[in-house]
Structure 1
């Protein structure tokens, strides 16, 4: 089980209480009412990580990682969309067993397990849920193999449809993330009848993704995630 995020400021403690009040056994259930005010409170009322802002404006307003890390003790990930939009930060707000929910200040949330995105809300065409346990087991073992990935996707008509893919995991060499942390490179090649993509990960010995390049069935598309604080 992941450690619960540490939040010591009064505002952050209040936010954590609100977020936990919305918890259930469903790791994809989000308490949106607390997300916006809580994340903003952790950053002194500013929202430098608004993923919906135009790319140029984001680049101008995005705070340096050191500034963000100094304002919270919660987990922080830097997200870089590969569709031309500007980067933004997501902050860990809630743990539900092995799932951790991250949020931006724009009502957007991502649920991660071992650093792999399993659900999103507010990104458009959201990933509603995922079944990726076999793949996560291979990451934990730092082992090559085959695994089935099942994704529940919200289409353009707001109808949830299921995508099932056969995936192959490959193990690479020891590499370093852009933040200088050493890990094992792994790739996940997935394919179905009409879809194929590759995800890449740099994982630690426990199989947690320290940095990754992940395809998502959302309007943001492919994202690069770099863990600044686990």
Structure 2
């Protein structure tokens, strides 16, 4: 199974991965490196290189919105710049073409990982996040093994866990932590949102089985 996933990502990401101007590795390069590591004996795997992000390094080439995204399951991290805003939908892209679509801070889609979230319905989730509680249905859409778009229905509830402070590259934000728990085909997934008024400064949002959850932090 590891070999299949790794080879699939190699085919998808071949040709990507030139270093960024600040010396950090592009996200798709990190994903490819992680995939290649799966093909090596454990004894031959080298320790991962440390990644260093500063506010100056991720904002020096733009004055627009920037997000910092990490994928713990893939051991990858990158900054993404907003390239388009269409109504509530913001499109963010990394140097090497990893794309995230956010609507009011909620993940509406991803591209470039291999097992992507194609689209989602989350209007009810957004209302509950702002309110601090609620029960509702969500729909996530992925490409299945037959290469068909498949909708997955989730039954979700959201609860407020009180006030916290989050620090994003040196800037502190007073927020409320709100936790969404969803039932997906008999198992639970959890999303976390750190919210101030109507801004989701930071979130942990599930994408798919292979990708796991992404942590998304708004730098500016």
Structure 2 distance, partners of 1:109, 1:200, is 21
Residues 166-185 of structure 1 aligned to structure 2 (within 5 Å): 166-179=155-168, 180-185=172-177
Aligned residues of 2:74 and 2:211 also touching (Cα < 8 A) = no
1:225 counterpart (212, 216, 219): 216
Structure 2 distance, partners of 1:132, 1:158, is 24
> Structure 1: which 5+ residue stretches go unaligned?
1-35
Secondary structure of the equivalent of 1:71? coil
Aligned residues of 1:185 and 1:202 also touching (Cα < 8 A) = yes
Partner of 2:92: 102
1:186 equivalenced with 2:191 (yes/no): no
Instruction: Normalising by structure 1, report the TM-score.
Output: 0.72
Partner of 1:199: 191
Number of positions where the alignment pairs a residue of Structure 1 with one of Structure 2:
187
Deviation at 1:193, TM superposition (A): 3.1
Q: Higher strand share goes to which structure?
A: 2
Deviation at 1:225, TM superposition (A): 1.1
Aligned residues of 1:62 and 1:88 also touching (Cα < 8 A) = no
2:205 counterpart (210, 214, 219): 214
1:91 equivalenced with 2:81 (yes/no): yes
Deviation at 1:70, TM superposition (A): 2.3
Deviation at 1:156, TM superposition (A): 3.4
Deviation at 1:52, TM superposition (A): 3.4
Structure 2 distance, partners of 1:204, 1:58, is 34
Change (3 A) 1:224 1:68: same
> Structure 2: which 5+ residue stretches go unaligned?
1-15, 35-45
Change (3 A) 1:61 1:203: closer
Give per-residue Cα distances to partners, 1:86-143, cap 9 Å, x unaligned.
3111111101100101111222211001211111111112111111101111223x32
RMSD after superposition: 2.5
Deviation at 1:65, TM superposition (A): 2.9
Partner of 2:101: 111
Deviates more, 1:173-182 or 1:214-223: 214-223
Structure 2 distance, partners of 1:99, 1:218, is 24
Structure 2 distance, partners of 1:162, 1:75, is 30
Secondary structure of the equivalent of 1:73? coil
2:64 counterpart (74, 96, 99): 74
Aligned residues of 1:109 and 1:120 also touching (Cα < 8 A) = yes
Change (3 A) 1:93 1:212: same
Instruction: Normalising by structure 2, report the TM-score.
Output: 0.76
Structure 1 distance, partners of 2:48, 2:106, is 24
